[in-house]
Amino acid sequence: MSSSTPGTTGKKSPGTTGKKAKAATEAKAAAPSKAASRKAATGAKAAAPSKAPKAESHLAMVRRARRINRELAEVYPYAHPELDFRNPFELLVATVLSAQTTDLRVNQTTPALFAAYPTPEDMAAAVPEEMEEIIRPTGFFRAKTKSLLGLSAALRDEFGGEVPGRLEDLVKLPGVGRKTANVVLGNAFGVPGITVDTHFGRLVRRWKWTDEEDPVKVEAVVAGIFPKSEWTMLSHRVVFHGRRICHARKPACGACPIAPLCPSYGEGETDPEKARKLLKYEMGGYPGQRLSPPADYPGKPAPALGDG
């Protein structure tokens, strides 16, 4: 295992160009998104760490972090929230349901839920056992039903049946923490927010942006590195990278487009061929998590519940 930092200044190593062409050819066969494949292959080939990392100044880390964000923007120009929603209420409910399960499972469950209870008023009046049956596939369905009943009653009684657009109001709702509130603010209200979930925390620690484990502290550190205008999209890009390439147990370092900028290169599989097999969702040629992905999503939509 290597833990060196091959490119803390953001410069590509010499001799990358010839390798780029070869790597791009190799990547073509592996993934449906050509741009993403090219970037992934480039990173895999450019990464050949051989020296121990030098101590990095805060300024150098900030520059490297911003470079990572720019690279990720090229790899995932289509990054987006991976929960299906049509309005702030649906996003709020979907985000509450996403605890301890995948976005895919939530997306496969919410069509029936919103057909039965389209508004906070409808949901607040639900028969608990009936709602439990609908959301059972997402796990912890009794606790989640309780949260959704409390949440929708609070929206009905305290906010006129509307989802509030302020963090301080959102976090007072039953079952809504800072992470959920930031997801809703960033994606349903256009208010910049950094969403520190398990992927985001893992990746920024691998990139040595911070050592903090506490999501609120991680959020504060990252907020100091990037301008507000980047916060929401940065969050999506980082989570996309965590789900597709930089996995918790087996990061696909050998197929990673930002390997030259990553101090943790080598924590996962470095062989390009083996690494490509670890890629997930559209990069691995599989369906995404959304049943209704945005128009620019290059992969296939996820199947409905029971369809695959």
Between residues 69 and 119, which has the closer beta carbon with respect to ligand SF4? Answer: 69
Max CA distance (Å), the chain: 65
Binding segment toward ligand SF4, per CB under 6 A, in 55-63, 192-200, 211-219, 259-267: 259-267
Collapsing DSSP states into helix, strand and coil, what is residue 187?
Answer: helix
Q: Based on CB atoms, which residue is closest to ligand SF4, 6 or 193?
A: 6
258 touching ligand SF4, by CB under 6 A: yes
Task: By CB under 6 A, tell whether 96 contacts ligand SF4.
Answer: no
From the list 112-120, 145-153, 251-259, 300-308, the region that binds ligand SF4 by CB under 6 A is: 251-259
Q: Of the listed pieces 26-34, 73-81, 83-91, 265-273, which binds ligand SF4 according to CB under 6 A?
A: 265-273
Q: Is 169 noted as a catalytic residue in this protein?
A: no
Q: Which residues contact 1 (CB under 8 A, 6 or more apart)?
A: 266, 267
Q: Which of 49, 27, 53 lies closest to 38 in space, CA to CA?
A: 27
Interacting residues of 288 by C-beta distance below 8 A, sequence separation 6+: 82, 281, 282, 297, 299, 300, 301, 302
Give the per-residue contact string, 160-199, with ligand SF4 (x = CB under 6 A; - = no).
Answer: ----------------------------------------
- In the bound complex, what is the minimum distance in angstroms from residue 93's beta carbon to ligand SF4? 32
Residue nearer to ligand SF4 on the CB measure, 41 or 245: 245
83 lies in the binding site for ligand SF4 (CB under 6 A): no
**Which listed residue (245, 279, 283, 302) binds ligand SF4 by CB under 6 A?**
245
* Residue 251 in the binding site for ligand SF4 (CB under 6 A): yes
Sign of CA dihedral 230, 231, 236, 239: positive
Among 31, 256, 283, 302, indicate the residue that binds ligand SF4 (CB under 6 A): 256
Among 264, 278, 284, 288, binds ligand SF4 (CB under 6 A): 264
| Choices 29-37, 141-149, 258-266, 288-296 (CB under 6 A): range interacting with ligand SF4 | 258-266
Please give the Cα distance from 73 to 33 (Å, whole number).
14
Contacts of 80 (CB under 8 A, 6+ apart): 236, 290, 293, 294, 297
Question: Buried b vs exposed e over 75-97: b needs ≥16 C-beta within 10 Å?
Answer: bbebbbbbbbbeebbbbbbbbbb
The alpha carbon dihedral of 41, 44, 45, 47 has a sign of: positive
Query: What string marks each residue from 268 to 287 as x (binds ligand SF4 by CB under 6 A) or -?
Result: x-------------------
DSSP state of 162: S
- In this structure, what token pair is assigned to residue 234? 């940065």
Annotated catalytic sites, by residue? 179, 197
Positions that interact with ligand SF4 (CB under 6 A): 206, 245-246, 251-253, 256, 258-259, 262, 264-265, 267-268
